Amino acid sequence: MPVKKRSANRRDNNTANVGTGILDIVSKYGTFLGIGLIAYLQTMFPSKEAFMELEKKINNIDKQLIEITVIQKSVDKNTNKIDTLSERLRLLEIDVAKKRNNQ
């Protein structure tokens, strides 16, 4: 019977050794890996100042796009007015030509 107790004790010791081995590895290398992971993540994202600068640039681009849209609408209106004026001028030229031919 004492043999069974020894084998049970060995299993408990092996399980305890595996658990402490993992903890030793984590405590030795986990800190360095954690610091390395944090440093890597900091390089992937912009700082607050860089983010604010990018946000200002985006706002300026947005303002310029709005200005371009307003100017384009004005140009479209002027183009329509010019087309209308050229059509009216053509009609007047036709009327003048008809009057000259009738005289």
Give CA–CA dist 93/87, Å, rounded. Answer: 10
Contact indicator for 45, 37 with CB cutoff of 8 Å: no
In the three-class reduction of DSSP (H, G, I as helix; E, B as strand; rest coil), residue 47 is classed as: coil
Q: What own/partner pairs with CB < 8 Å and gap ≥ 24 does 24-29 have?
A: none
Q: What is the pLDDT of residue 88?
A: 93
Instruction: Dump pLDDT digits (tens) for 78-97.
Output: 999 999 999 999 999 999 99
Instruction: Dump pLDDT digits (tens) for 10-65.
Output: 555 555 555 567 777 777 888 888 888 898 988 888 888 988 999 999 999 999 99
Answering whether pTM is above 0.85, one says no
